[in-house]
A and B are shown apart, each in its own frame.
Chain A
Amino acid sequence: MNYSNLIKIAWKAIMLNKTRAMLTMLGIIIGVASVIAMLAIGEGSKESIKKNISSMGANMITVRPGAGMMGGVRQGMTDMQSLKMKDYQAIKQQAVLLKDISPLVNGSGQAIAGANNWPTSIYGAATAYLDIREWGVEDGSMFTEDDINAYAKVAVIGKTVQENLFPNEKEVIGKMIRFKNIPFKVIGVLKEKGENTFGQDQDDIIIAPYTAVQKRILAQDYLQSIVASAISEDQAGAAVVEVTSILEKSHQLREDQDNDFNVSSQQELIKTFSATSEMLTVLLVAIAGISLIVGGIGIMNIMYVSVKERTREIGLRMAIGAKGKHILLQFLIESILISLTGGVLGVVFGLSITFVIAQIAGWPVSITINSIVISFVVCTVTGVFFGWYPARKAAQSDPITALRYE
């Protein structure tokens, strides 16, 4: 006997009890649909976090002062002055896993141009900063190495700053702005970047040579942070380790001393922020999974009834030559067909729900092939697992007794 015959027999049995089969399937349909929808929502939120953080520069590594104590008092990150130019120099010279590196100093204040003013932040950086942030200028150009050496008062400004300081002017290159009474010449306008994960407007920024910002505006000798980019996303983790060890040496920390700085990659940031959403996804999928199990038990229940109901049929089939395995397969295929059909309908239903959620609630969703494949595998396993016992019971019936069954 070939399998197509068995499948035909099983399908027929299902079609003879359409309502019952549909109700049994419903459990599986709901289970699969909710797994798919939950996974899509979970994946969607994870991806949107990742995309947001990556928009700050996917390979970016940030060194911040911190995690240190000063006379037993834990200091806020911004109060720490442990990062110096020499750290920047040391990393720049020794690190091999970094592509670009830039020191970063920043301050905030009112920027003024003509009759307009706007509260914003000024960032002092090296020329490589734009590459690290995977950013570019839309108009004009970035300042150069010469500008840095000359402590030049030139700046590139973000879109938000441009719109607020020069609301009616198309051409802003060459215009002057003042920040804390220091005049800067605008030499470039940055491309629009939008908000980051934390809802911060990334275009609300003025970037100038770090030398000029450090000396002329902030009058400080330390750095707020050092940013760098790893040579690739995969190497980001290794680069963090490398930079850490360089700084440990440069800061001459004893082994039992805590680091007075903190090196992190975007990957870690992504991990941290994804963790919550991941946990929530696992929770939701687990709940959805339970409904799949309940659906499976429904299948088992129905298969039991079906086997009992068809005892004489089983006896007859055996009398005319069906072997135990034929009976086993017939019922097993029946339960697999129910759960797989339920699975297909569940996937369709789940995708529809996902689509509706995305449309109505506007949540980010992401349907992965994985979640569909997993659903199918789970369905088949459910069919086999919950169909096995009733099917085996059927296969083990004694044809003589089965034929006499009333």
Chain B
Amino acid sequence: MVQPTIRIEQLTRSFKMGDEIVKALKGIDLRIEQGEFVTIMGTSGSGKSTLLNILGCLDQPSSGDYFLDGVSVKDLDKNELATIRNTKIGFIFQSYNLLARTSAIENVELPLLYNPAISAEERRQRAVDALKKVGLETRMGHMPSQLSGGQQQRVAIARSLVNQPVILLADEATGNLDTRTSYEVMNLFQELNEHGITIGFVTHEEDIARFSKRTVVLRDGNIIKDNIVSDRLWAKAELNKLPGPID
């Protein structure tokens, strides 16, 4: 039997705010299988960011179990979490978070710098491959300031791919992009997903959610909806419907 990529059971997370205890997640069960493309939706305060932080091993659950690729995460210490993030997770952020004045290729190489098992040559090779996957092989030496928003996000996606993670976790990855560029980026995600890459995608935009295969909706710390997307859209087709770029 194939391990689910993510298995969460009765997961809670509460924060102490002064004297009050705020329950951000109130007992969540969730399984994400290999090859899925799941959108996690919810309004602000619904707990989706908390869930994403736990999924991304940046935070630990207060109770419940979390298995990532078969590894129980809740017992790991800070350093072990860092190693898990380094080897099993690819992060994509709303604001790209590329290092300024650092070339695209060096940005992509960054996660591998923290993995002692990978040599300098392999690091470079993998970074080149990742940049090819996102279609930026001609921009490897460019600085982030020389790239458009969409290109920067594609560099960030290449960075998230370079360590061959079991899951890509994107946090409002299209939030800073215009519609056309958003669709381009979503097209890239769909292509990557078609190649078998598991994707967890946090957004609050309904139309973006329709590019995924499954939507999980959170409200007040509970999952209130978990549907297969029946009317799935293909970003490539949607791009063609958009009016052409104004030159």
Residues of A within 8 A of B (CB): 1-2, 5, 9, 12, 16, 312-313, 315-326, 399-400, 403
Whether, in the assembled complex, B101 has its beta carbon less than 8 Å from a beta carbon of chain A, the answer is: yes
- A317 near B56 with CB under 8 A, answer no
Which 3 pairs, one residue from A and one from B, show the smallest C-beta to C-beta distance? Answer: A321-B86, A320-B111, A323-B82
- Nearest chain-A residue to B84 (Cβ)? A321
Known: A2-B116, A399-B58. A320 touches B159 (CB 8 A): yes
| Interface: B233 (CB within 8 A) | no
Show 15 A/B contacts (Cβ-Cβ < 8 Å), sorted by A: A2-B116, A313-B99, A316-B93, A317-B110, A317-B114, A318-B85, A319-B58, A319-B91, A320-B163, A321-B87, A322-B82, A323-B78, A323-B83, A324-B78, A324-B79
User: Residue on B with the closest CB to A16?
Assistant: B101
Identity of the chain B residue whose Cβ is nearest the Cβ of A318 in the assembled complex: B82
Cβ < 8 Å to A, chain B residues 55-72 = 56, 58-59
In whole angstroms, what is the CA distance A324 to B83 when docked? Answer: 11
Specify which chain A residues have a CB less than 8 angstroms from the CB of B116 in the assembled complex. 1-2
Q: Which of B59, B82, B102 is A321 in contact with, Cβ under 8 Å?
A: B82
Bound Cα distance from A325 to B78, whole angstroms: 11
Residues in chain B near residue A2, CB distance under 8 A: 116
- Chain A residues near B56: list those with CB within 8 A: 319
Tell me, rounded to whole Å, the shortest Cβ–Cβ distance linking A317 to chain B: 7
Chain B's closest residue to A399 (CB) is B58
Q: Would you list which residues of chain B between 29 and 86 have a CB under 8 Å from chain A?
A: 53, 56, 58-59, 78-79, 82-83, 85-86
Residues of B within 8 A of A (CB): 53, 56, 58-59, 78-79, 82-83, 85-87, 91, 93, 97, 99, 101-102, 110-111, 113-116, 159, 163
Q: What is the bound-complex CA distance between A183 and B42, given in angstroms? A: 122
Task: List A contacts of B85 (CB < 8 A).
Answer: 318-321
Q: Is the CB of A321 within 8 A of B58?
A: no
By secondary structure, the A interface counts as helix
Contacts A403-B93, A403-B97 given; indicate if A320 touches B58 (C-beta within 8 A).
no
Complex contact A1–B97 (CB within 8 A):
no
Q: Which residues of B contact A1 (CB under 8 A)?
A: 113-116
Nearest B residue (CB) for A4? B120
Pair A400/B59 contact, Cβ less than 8 Å? yes
Minimum CB–CB distance for B161 against chain A, Å: 12
CA distance A399 to B93 in the complex (A): 13
Bound Cα distance from A320 to B99, whole angstroms:
13
The answer to whether B101 and A321 touch across the interface, beta carbons within 8 angstroms, is no
| Closest partner residue, chain B, to A12 (CB atom) | B102
Q: Select from chain B the residue with minimum beta-carbon distance to A9.
A: B113
Which residues does chain A contribute within 8 Å of B115, judged by CB atoms? 1, 321
A1-B114, A320-B110, A321-B163 are known contacts; what are 7 more A-B pairs with Cβ within 8 Å?
A: A319-B85, A319-B91, A320-B91, A321-B111, A322-B82, A322-B114, A324-B79
The complex places the Cα of A400 from the Cα of B85 at a distance, in Å, of 13
Bound CA span A2–B118, Å: 11
Q: In this complex, what residue of A is CB-closest to B98?
A: A316
**Residue of A at shortest CB range from B82?**
A323
Complex: how many Å from CA A16 to CA B143?
13
Q: Given the complex, which residues of A lie within 8 Å of B58, measured CB to CB?
A: 318-319, 399-400
Q: A313-B99, A321-B83, A400-B58 are in contact. Are A326 and B93 (CB under 8 A)?
A: no
- Given the interface pairs A1-B114, A322-B114, the reply to whether A316 lies near B97 with Cβ below 8 Å is yes
Q: Once bound together, how far apart are the Cα atoms of A321 and B163, in whole Å?
A: 10
Residue of A nearest to B107 (CB): A316
Complex interface: chain A residues within 8 A of B101 (CB):
16
B111 contact set on A, CB distance < 8 A:
320-321
Question: Is B99 a contact partner of A316 (Cβ separation < 8 A)?
Answer: yes
Q: Assess whether A326 is in contact with B91, with CB atoms less than 8 Å apart.
A: no
B191 to nearest A CB, angstroms? 22
- Bound together, the chains give a CA A37 to CA B119 distance in angstroms of 45
- Chain A residue with Cβ nearest B95: A312
- Minimal beta-carbon separation of A124 from chain B (angstroms): 83
| Chain A nearest CB, measured from B148 CB (Å) | 20
How far, in whole Å, are A1 and B116 apart by their CA atoms in the complex? Answer: 4
In angstroms, Cα B56 to Cα A403, docked, is: 13
Complex Cα–Cα for A322 and B82 (A): 6
Q: Find the B residue at minimum CB distance from A2.
A: B116
- Please, how many angstroms separate the alpha-carbon atoms of A1 and B114 in the complex? 5
Which residues of chain B are within 8 angstroms of A313 by Cβ–Cβ distance?
99
CA distance A321 to B113 in the complex (A): 9
Closest to A316 in B: B97
* Separation of A5 and B82 alpha carbons in the complex (Å): 18
A326 to B59, CA, bound (A): 19
| Cα-based distance from A317 to B115 in the complex (angstroms) | 12
- In the complex, what residues of B have CB within 8 A of residue A403's CB? 93, 97
